[in-house]
Amino acid sequence: MNKIKQNDEVIIIAGKDKGSVGTVTKVIGSKLIVEGFNIVKKHVRPNPQEGIQGGIEEKEMPLNVSNIAIYNSTTQKADRVGIRVNDKGEKERFFKSNGETVL
Give the per-residue pLDDT at 2. 81
b/e map 33-44, b = 16+ CB within 10 Å? bbeebbeeeeee
Q: Predicted confidence band at 84 (pLDDT cuts at 50, 70, 90)?
A: very high
Name the pTM for this structure. Answer: 0.81
Q: Are the CB atoms for 97 and 72 separated by under 8 Å?
A: yes
pLDDT band at 103 (very low <50, low <70, confident <90, very high): confident
- Per-residue model confidence as pLDDT tens digits over 45-82: 999 999 999 999 999 999 999 999 999 999 999 999 99
Give the per-residue pLDDT at 46: 96
- Rounded to whole angstroms, how far apart are CA atoms 12 and 22? 8
- pLDDT, tens digit, for every residue of 18-41? 999 999 999 999 999 999 999 999
Q: What is the pLDDT of residue 1?
A: 63
Domains in the chain, ordered, with CATH? 9-75 (2.30.30.30)
